[in-house]
Amino acid sequence: MRKLVSGYTKFRTEVYPGHQEDFQRLAKGQTPDTLFITCSDSRIDPALLLQTRPGELFICRNAGNIVPAHGDINGGVSATIEYAVTALKVRHIILCGHSDCGVMHGLLHPDRVQKMKTVANWLHYGDRARAVVDAICEGQSDEEKVMELARQNVLSQMDNLRTHPSVAAAIVKNGLQLHGWIYQIGQGEIEAWCQSRHQFLPLETLPIAEPRLAAV
**What integer pLDDT is reported at residue 62 of this predicted model?**
97
Question: Measuring CA to CA, which residue among 84, 67, 37 is closest to residue 163?
Answer: 67
Instruction: Band the pLDDT of 73: cuts 50, 70, 90.
Output: confident
pLDDT of residue 71: 86
Report how far apart, in Å, the C-alpha atoms of 133 and of each of 17, 66, 107, 140 are. Answer: 50, 17, 10, 10
pLDDT in the model for residue 211: 43
- What is the pTM for the complete model shown? 0.93
Average pLDDT over residues 150-166: 97
- Band the pLDDT of 8: cuts 50, 70, 90: very high
Asked whether residue 103 carries a pLDDT value surpassing 80, the answer given is yes
pLDDT at 128: 96
Q: What is the mean pLDDT of the chain?
A: 94
Average pLDDT over residues 68-78: 89
CB 129 within 8 A of CB 149: yes
Q: Is the pLDDT of residue 215 over 50?
A: no
Whether the Cβ atoms of residue 189 and residue 169 lie closer than 8 Å to each other: no
List, in order of start, the domains of the chain with CATH numbers.
32-215 (3.40.1050.10)
Q: For residues 116-120, give the mean pLDDT.
A: 95
Tell me, what's the pLDDT at 191?
A: 97
- Burial tier of 83 (Cβ tally within 10 Å: 0-12, 13-18, 19+): middle
> Residue range 94-108: average pLDDT?
97
pLDDT of residue 207: 81
Flag whether pLDDT at 75 surpasses 80: yes
Is residue 216 predicted with pLDDT exceeding 50?
Answer: no
Per the document, the length of the chain is: 216
